[in-house]
Structure 1
């Protein structure tokens, strides 16, 4: 009986308490909503590529539970934007994501509106390669109406992508001579070969590549000054047997816009993705490709910036790379395998493994370059510079190949780890030399032994060790040297006469100061 009485009493109190509440009594909104911002800027998108999701927070600062009669786009069902309000997509059919009725908002509470867009620039009647698309989100109507502007810049682009079977969903893959026997081999690499009319990338529109764009045998892909190339995830360029890549950028007058450089990066244009490594694959100079040149390019946010394989004994270098920056790669900035690379005024920084790796032997001649690594996103196993002459197979069997040359002249090799260069040899031919460089190496367990006898002038001449390079801001990949840099004046005139101007076009000879690295300090003096 006591239990029944106790339950009845509690039930009566609960019933009385709930009858006094007005939680479910919503009054119409009176136009007093507050917003986290007055304009939603959806960052630049390419035509027909969906944007990221952006949000708007809406506040009810009053003590009343309110209902917002309508939330809709000013352009109605024709709007190219779509909304989701706290997980709801609104009315079905054509108005889904466009029109919402009777949206409830509790007193002193808030709700989130999520906004996205996918825009086909051709439907806008745009005459230019970019178009500013705008709309408004309308809250209520009449005298109570409030609105928020929504703005997106849409860019037109040239899209290069493999075909896809609509029935099976199978994506086209590349077939080419993988093993060098003269017969094409099927691969699992999604992509297609560029047609003849696609082999010149101009600066008229950006290029967006899905999968790997292949350069076929005997063909040359040319990128003209000012070209912009964007890669989707797991995409890149592969240059096959007897094919060539020519990136012909030029010195820019504006170091912010780099108007004349060729820029290769991911296809997400939002600021959030500006410096995220590993957004796309690599520029793959496959074994048998030849006479590849890269001049005045910026390569960023790849997995491997440039992968160069084979051809170490060809009459001309497989890759000549000059006046080029490679930043924010999740693995290697440049990875060479039994190949030949000549580099001048090259800057590499921020790599998840090594900035420059010459592996399985090869031939490397690097002059007036800055090879740095200030990666701080995860543990880094390898130094900024890695040179070796071997590979291991799956059974840990060692295969060696001659390192015929590895010469680093007037360079900076530095980073936030120590040591920042490693030389590993298993074979008999292992030729290397560092001349007039600023180097970071302070390892008592290695120094003085084997490849690290810094007093041996057959391998080390006039280098400076473990002194401050005084980079402008290496964690932001600003690699100019400052007034206190120990790279100032340590270069040899012999090599400066081979690379007369620094990466910004300033004369090393006229300055009278032969600074190590790609940047001459006198460039920045008032």
Structure 2
């Protein structure tokens, strides 16, 4: 009997507590708390669904509240909702127990407005309960683009009016030319790729760079490697230029396979930045590549590589894989007169490497490798470089000291030189009059892509 009374008492207490939290109150003084007063998205390409944003609605009161209406403000909206697990843009009778909450997920799929400039896309989520009304603003910007899907193009000019979105493959045909103007932006969908059989001229300036990047830039996608394939220069491609360009978040930034019988550069890169590449920044095979005032960082296997021979020149470049998202024990800057084709076959070619006034740095003990294992002729000119190495290299500076070059803050990927940088005033004057940013170099130039000018 005593046990039965105790059980009844426990049940009554449980019912009392549950009733207090679950009993709906219509008191207009009861408030709700929202995790945000607005939900915002980064600029989004039109016709592309965004990532999801979260909004939590919390009931801080002891009594339950029944929300009579949750809905989008516009009947035709670019936004969509998932309310407490249900895909719906309007809901009624959502009950929040005392001290509990509900979760609302918000997405946006911006419909094209056929405009060149970004445009504001707004709406709101309306909450009504107990004669109260609250609006949570929804804000994003849409950007229309030119869609490129499995196209072969010839003698075109891409402007900076609106971005170009490569959804699959784009090919610059043989004996054709693609001009990309300053300020133009080229966005690549997942695994999208550009092949150049003819000529690419991507010419920006110090104020308006040409941008090659992934097509998603909301949330975490803004700094994730490997989201698109790369730009591939194929055999027969000649006279290519990439100037004042930013290339990032792909697999291979620039891949060059343009074998020929001369040493005239088939690709000239200057004043550009290549980073967040899952495989390589610049990767070349039996090709002629000339690179000046260029920064390459945070790449998987190679910051720069030239294999099976070729002619490679790097002047006033900063190549750094410290820090890096990738674990890399091998040198990230490599050149070789050969490449393995099969277990019994090597592809070999004469190799000429010129690296002057550059910084080669990273997390490996040795960051530069020049391999002559193919038996071809190898000529390497290294002068006035800072190289991560245990060995002395004549006419160069080698060290394994932490931040020996003197970067301002490598861990924030800031590779400009600090006030006491070792790299200051130690370069050889080779006539490169400006640095990566377009700033004039002084009479005692600095090693690397950046020139530090002390303010008077």
- The alignment's TM-score, normalised by the length of structure 1, stands at 0.80
Q: Distance in 1 between matches of 2:226 and 2:323?
A: 13
The equivalent of 1:62 in structure 2 is 61
In the TM superposition, what are the counterparts of 1:54-453 in structure 2 within 5 Å? 54-76=53-75, 78-89=76-87, 97-122=88-113, 129-140=117-128, 143-161=131-149, 191-194=150-153, 199-240=156-197, 243-252=198-207, 260-314=208-262, 316-393=264-341, 395-428=342-375, 429-442=377-390, 447=391
Q: Distance in 2 between matches of 1:433 and 1:423?
A: 11
Q: 1:262-317: per-residue Cα shift (whole Å, max 9, x none)?
A: 01111112252222111211011112211111111011111111000132533521
The equivalent of 1:52 in structure 2 is 51
Q: Distance in 1 between matches of 2:12 and 2:65?
A: 24
Q: Distance in 1 between matches of 2:331 and 2:455?
A: 32
Contact kept in structure 1, 2:245 and 2:272, CA below 8 Å: yes
Contact kept in structure 1, 2:329 and 2:365, CA below 8 Å: no
Q: Distance in 2 between matches of 1:296 and 1:44?
A: 23
In the TM superposition, what are the counterparts of 1:480-499 in structure 2 within 5 Å? 480-493=416-429, 495=430, 497=431, 499=432
Distance 1:352 1:127, change over 3 A: closer
Distance 1:29 1:224, change over 3 A: farther
Q: Distance in 2 between matches of 1:329 and 1:71?
A: 44
Distance 1:397 1:28, change over 3 A: farther
Distance 1:6 1:407, change over 3 A: farther
Q: Distance in 1 between matches of 2:387 and 2:318?
A: 10
SS in 1 for 2:217: coil
Q: Distance in 2 between matches of 1:103 and 1:287?
A: 64
Matched length: 449
Hey, which bits of structure 1, 4+ residues long, moved more than 6 A?
5-11
Contact kept in structure 2, 1:353 and 1:381, CA below 8 Å: no
Deviation at 1:116, TM superposition (A): 0.4
Contact kept in structure 2, 1:28 and 1:68, CA below 8 Å: no
Long gaps (5+) in structure 1: 90-96, 162-190, 253-259, 448-452, 455-459
Aligned alpha-carbon RMSD (Å): 2.2
SS in 2 for 1:67: strand
Q: Distance in 2 between matches of 1:291 and 1:491?
A: 29
Contact kept in structure 2, 1:294 and 1:322, CA below 8 Å: yes
Q: Distance in 1 between matches of 2:350 and 2:409?
A: 34
In the TM superposition, what are the counterparts of 1:22-61 in structure 2 within 5 Å? 22=19, 24-28=22-26, 30=28, 32-61=31-60
SS in 1 for 2:293: strand
Long gaps (5+) in structure 2: none
Deviation at 1:505, TM superposition (A): 2.3
SS in 2 for 1:274: helix
Where is the helix percentage greater, Structure 1 or Structure 2?
1
Q: Distance in 2 between matches of 1:512 and 1:128?
A: 44
- The alignment's TM-score, normalised by the length of structure 2, stands at 0.92
Q: Distance in 2 between matches of 1:501 and 1:211?
A: 37
Distance 1:73 1:286, change over 3 A: same
